[in-house]
Structure 1
Amino acid sequence: MKTIYKSLMTIAFAGLCLASCDKELKEETAMEVGVVTDNNVSFNGNTVTVKKGSPVTFSFNGDPDFITFFSGEIGHEYKHRNRTEMKVEDIEKCELSFRIWYRYGNASTIKGSTHVLVSDQFNGINGSNVDQDKQTVENCEWTEVFAQEELPTKPNSTSETAESSKTFTFELSSYLAKEITIAVHYNPIDNSNTMPQLNIMDMNIDLMFTNGKGNTVNAKDFGFSPLNLVYDLTKLNDSHKKVLKKALGNEKMPDEDLNSEENIKKYPYLLVDGQIPDFWSTTTPTRIQIAGGSKGTTKADTWLISAPVLLGTCYPDAGQSIKNISQTLEIYSHTYEEAGTYTATFVANNANYVHQGGQVVRELTINVVE
């Protein structure tokens, strides 16, 4: 009997453990939200009335593993948590901006050399057929961002100056809700002097929304690809060759292999990390650069073309994590600084490695008064 008793106790204890573990692993999420009232805060049903600048203290019944709070203020609305694109009528401004800075060269070698272009008709390059890609870019309907007369005319080899650098802006509102392509075409028409080094600085698309928020898309996220149609490898020095070999993936390559059939096929689509005449470098996040060359060098013809950019994109609204599985939370306070009506949303979850305990969403209307 003693043995049987011990066995029964063991079974009973194991059963309790299993039941307890099962409850722990599969407990559904439970949470109710209340409000602590005082002279500045009243609570009626699901509506809170509070004076501007006074904290609202929320209380919680239940102990979910995680709670996320959306205040309902701009940028923190639960209903916009998955929004990644603004409606056209909600966009106040959409603008392309950048600076152009020339080093070396002179007014004659700069004039007519640089074109920044925008199109909503471009279908992309093939990436393996140079002749086809040449026709594609040349036959596309592009819009020039600036007139050639607006380019800086006095290069400065050491730093940006008012005469060597100029800021450009281009309104993109007519392209809203469309995919656009941004391209830079470098094609000097005069090589009677040292060729300029072109630097395009801080290229961004800036959006401002009617809700007061905004978004900036940087050039590093444009997905630029080169199309090098005319370039000159005959005047490369040892430093240039080193950069070129690195871009080709073999820094120990013999010089004669730079002219191999295999590498010649790669050059039209090659980006470099460094300065080589006629080849684009985009490794610095805030700078697009192409080096010129010596007097009399072959006149380059090269493009830098973005991936399609959809205008009007935005970041989803974000909530604030106010509780995780290692914390307890009985109250939480938030202060609204502007009068208006907001929807405060609390999202609760239970979660562990076995079971997702479901999601509970609780909403309160917050009337903020003067």
Structure 2
Amino acid sequence: MKLHYIFLSFLIISSLLFSCKKEGVKSPEFDVKTDKGTYKVGEQVVFNFSGNPNFISFYSGEVGNNYANRARTRENGKAIMQFTSTQAGGSQVGNLKMMISNDFNGVYDAPSIAKATWTDITNRAILSPGGTAGNNTPSGNVDLSDYAALNKPVYIGFYDLAPQNTLQPRGWTIGGLTINNTLTDKTIFAVVPNFLAAGFVAVDLQNPTYKWTITSTQMQVPSIVPGQATNEDWSISTAIDLNTVNPDYSIPIKGIDTRVANYSYVFKAAGTYTVTFLASNINVDDEKDIVKTLVLTINP
């Protein structure tokens, strides 16, 4: 009987070990060829395959579809911010400033703001001159490329300081803020696609009666009564990586349940393209890939 139990235990343990063993996959067998290396714009290019991997993905080598950029998430380009501003009443000038910092610690309180280095970049933008005609004045292109080149996240701050005096401070509304990163190939990436994405946080330093109010589309600091106590307020964005880009995508052309003998594609612009095919065998435990490239010349 004892030997019987030992044998049963051995069978159970062996079964468990076998069931936990990971199942690998074979390296894919795959190749791709074309009839020639030079084509014309608009001419159909036929890629002929050999082998039958589980999956095949295609990168044409065009902008946005480049294998070399498949894992890219950052690249230095031209960082441009745009927003609109509206000025409300008042004769006290110079109370609003646009600031930038790359060493703010992300803690939205007075000591952290004071500790950070802030640079006044107000003169890079066009601000509302006031009056009805000044409603939603476009800022123009606020170039932040010099800060993008530092490869550090930045914080954008709108700083309102209205000293106590007999002049009425002006109120301000800021909205429509976006930041785009434009690369040398003219690809444009939305670093901050809309005002809400900028993540502005209001910080009141003096006179809590008047402060920035922030909605999903704009922020506003009011025009206050002359003679009020000094009003000092910040509205500071979340950390912004000005070099943000999206990875390039692939075109899936084969799944595990199909067999594909060829694939056709048409190039719309002249140039030299490095075409890449990624072939993969995949299961829940393993993945093996093979990469095949072709250099094609596309003439006008």
* CA spacing shift, 1:231–1:323, aligned 2, 3 Å: farther
Residue in 2 aligned with 1:208? 182
Residue in 2 aligned with 1:356? 286
Write out aligned runs for 1:179-198 (5 A).
179=152, 180-189=154-163, 198=172
Is the 8 Å Cα contact of residues 174 and 219 (structure 2) preserved in structure 1? yes
Instruction: Give CA-to-partner distance per residue, 1:200-239, whole Å, 9 cap, x none.
Output: 1221223322212122221444443332212435xxxxxx
C-alpha displacement of 1:364? 1.0
Counterpart-to-counterpart distance in 2, 1:324 and 1:197? 59
Residue in 2 aligned with 1:143? 120
* CA spacing shift, 1:331–1:189, aligned 2, 3 Å: same
* CA spacing shift, 1:94–1:357, aligned 2, 3 Å: closer
C-alpha displacement of 1:61? 2.0
Matched, 1:171 2:143: yes
Matched, 1:278 2:278: no
Counterpart-to-counterpart distance in 2, 1:318 and 1:56? 20
3-state DSSP class of the match of 1:135? helix
Paired letter, 2:53? P
Aligned counterpart for 1:94 among listed residues 79, 83, 96: 79
Residue in 2 aligned with 1:53? 42
Aligned counterpart for 1:124 among listed residues 77, 99, 105: 105
Paired letter, 1:187? L
Aligned counterpart for 2:52 among listed residues 60, 63, 68: 63
Residue in 1 aligned with 2:262? 331
Is the 8 Å Cα contact of residues 199 and 290 (structure 1) preserved in structure 2? yes
Counterpart-to-counterpart distance in 2, 1:191 and 1:164? 26
Paired letter, 1:177? A
Identity fraction in percent: 24
Normalization by structure 2: what TM-score?
0.77
Residue in 1 aligned with 2:27? 28
Give the count of matched residue pairs: 274
Paired letter, 1:280? T
Residue in 2 aligned with 1:3? none
Counterpart-to-counterpart distance in 2, 1:223 and 1:289? 11
C-alpha displacement of 1:72? 0.7
C-alpha displacement of 1:184? 0.7
C-alpha displacement of 1:33? 1.5
Counterpart-to-counterpart distance in 2, 1:99 and 1:289? 11
Larger C-alpha radius of gyration, 1 or 2?
1
* CA spacing shift, 1:76–1:202, aligned 2, 3 Å: same
Matched, 1:303 2:229: no
Instruction: Give CA-to-partner distance per residue, 1:61-100, whole Å, 9 cap, x none.
Output: 222222111001122211122222325xxx3x33222111
3-state DSSP class of the match of 1:108? coil
Is the 8 Å Cα contact of residues 344 and 363 (structure 1) preserved in structure 2? yes
3-state DSSP class of the match of 2:134? coil
> Over aligned residue pairs, what C-alpha RMSD do you find?
3.2
Counterpart-to-counterpart distance in 2, 1:55 and 1:82? 29
Moved more, 204-213 or 335-344: 204-213
* CA spacing shift, 1:328–1:303, aligned 2, 3 Å: same
Counterpart-to-counterpart distance in 2, 1:71 and 1:54? 14
3-state DSSP class of the match of 2:91? helix
Paired letter, 1:232? P
Paired letter, 1:320? I
Normalization by structure 1: what TM-score?
0.64
Moved more, 317-326 or 356-365: 317-326
Paired letter, 1:350? N
Is the 8 Å Cα contact of residues 193 and 294 (structure 1) preserved in structure 2? no
C-alpha displacement of 1:315? 1.9
User: Structure 1 regions of 5+ residues with no counterpart?
Assistant: 1-17, 36-41, 157-161, 234-276
Residue in 2 aligned with 1:369? 299
Is the 8 Å Cα contact of residues 184 and 305 (structure 1) preserved in structure 2? yes
Paired letter, 2:295? T
Instruction: Give CA-to-partner distance per residue, 1:269-315, whole Å, 9 cap, x none.
Output: xxxxxxxx51431x41xx33125266466553211223443333322
User: Structure 2 regions of 5+ residues with no counterpart?
Assistant: 1-17
Counterpart-to-counterpart distance in 2, 1:196 and 1:321? 56
Is the 8 Å Cα contact of residues 107 and 154 (structure 1) preserved in structure 2? no
Matched, 1:82 2:71: yes
C-alpha displacement of 1:56? 0.6
Aligned counterpart for 1:315 among listed residues 224, 238, 246: 246
Residue in 2 aligned with 1:253? none
Counterpart-to-counterpart distance in 1, 2:85 and 2:250? 39
* CA spacing shift, 1:228–1:325, aligned 2, 3 Å: farther
Paired letter, 1:124? N
Paired letter, 1:143? D
Paired letter, 1:78? Y
3-state DSSP class of the match of 1:232? coil
